[in-house]
Amino acid sequence: MIDAPPACLDSASLADEVGILIGRPLAGIADVDFRIRIAQTPRGRWLLRLETVDQAARADGTREAAAVAIAVSVRSIETPTVAPAGPDGHMAPGTVQSEAPSKASAAVASSRTALSWRPAMTVALVTDTGTLPSTAPGVDLEGNLQRGSFRLTLLGAWFVSRDVSGAGGIGGTFQLAFGGALSCLAPTWGRWTPLTCAGLEVGRLAGTGVGVARPETGAALWRAARAELGVRAVLGGSAAVVLRAGVAIPLERPAFVLDQSELVYQPSRMAVRATAGIELGF
């Protein structure tokens, strides 16, 4: 039974479409009938109400929507499901009401997306003040994984060498390279993601004598704890800019000497780091 504007549905065409969707003629479904009611809402949308009933009774929308709804109902009858029931206008068992895509389904899909790991890569410029004799620029390559408000960053950095000299021009040139990991709290608010990070870095701090007869290179293991604050801002598409600043606290401060006695250089107790880069998501 169809209760709808005359131009809205054609019963024969509807039956044919249902047959295509369920794989057999609608007339071949025993002991079940359908009632279709179609009306236009104040917002200009079509509201389709479908009820599956026994042979004494009969659904909502355009012809295509009705066909889909009936097909779903037929499959529901063959694999029973439970729907809310009530005589006061609420949907009864076997009733399908459709006005727009399911918001619940969209919410579930959105939740699953938010909880999946999102990989990205960052190429950045970084500066160090305190580990080397003077402020040194460097390059930084990072791999990132974010899930919800948690962000994990694995990084590697290399800095331009810096010199220090004493009396008579005797001194050394020093270079730093390391790898590290940062764990960040990173809640996303629209296009902005504030970053609160902590982690460790391990690498190589090397020094080569300058102004001496036989220059030699000495290297020490560099280990430091890091703490940083920053922000990530979406530029468009999968690209974002990442800015961070913080400190590195060395777990040891290797001393570089000449002739086993004359101190040439020792890193500061705290180094200041600044990072600016472009992130590309996958």
At residue 212, the pLDDT reads: 79
At residue 205, the pLDDT reads: 97
* SS3 readout for the chain: CEECCCCCCCHHHHHHHHHHHHCCCHHHCCCCEEEEEEEECCCCCEEEEEEEECCCCCCECCHHHHHHHHHHHHHHHHCCCCCCCCCCCCCCCCEEEECCCCHHHHHHHHHHHHCCCEEEEEEEEEEEECCCCCCEEEEEEEEEEEECCEEEEEEEEEECCEEEECHHHCEEEEEEEEEEEEEEECCCECCEEEEEEEEEEEEEEEEEEECCCCCCEEEEEEEEEEEEEEEEEEEECCEEEEEEEEEEEECCCCCEEECCCEEEECCCCCEEEEEEEEEEEC
pTM: 0.59
* Class of domain 114-281 (CATH, top level): mainly beta
At residue 142, the pLDDT reads: 98
- Tokens read off for 5: 């504007």
From-to residues of CATH 2.40.160.20 in the chain: 114-281
Q: For residue 259, which of 218, 206, 205 has the smallest C-alpha distance?
A: 218
CA 54 to chain centre: 49
At residue 215, the pLDDT reads: 81
At residue 32, the pLDDT reads: 61
At residue 213, the pLDDT reads: 76
- Side chain identity, residue 150: F
Whole-number Å distance between alpha carbons of 275 and 198: 14
Q: For residue 131, which of 274, 227, 275, 270 has the smallest C-alpha distance?
A: 270
Q: What is the mean pLDDT of each run of 10 residues along the chain (282 residues)?
A: 66 67 65 70 69 50 55 53 51 48 47 72 98 97 96 98 85 95 96 97 94 85 98 95 98 88 91 98 91
Q: Are 37 and 60 in contact (CB under 8 A)?
A: yes
At residue 61, the pLDDT reads: 42
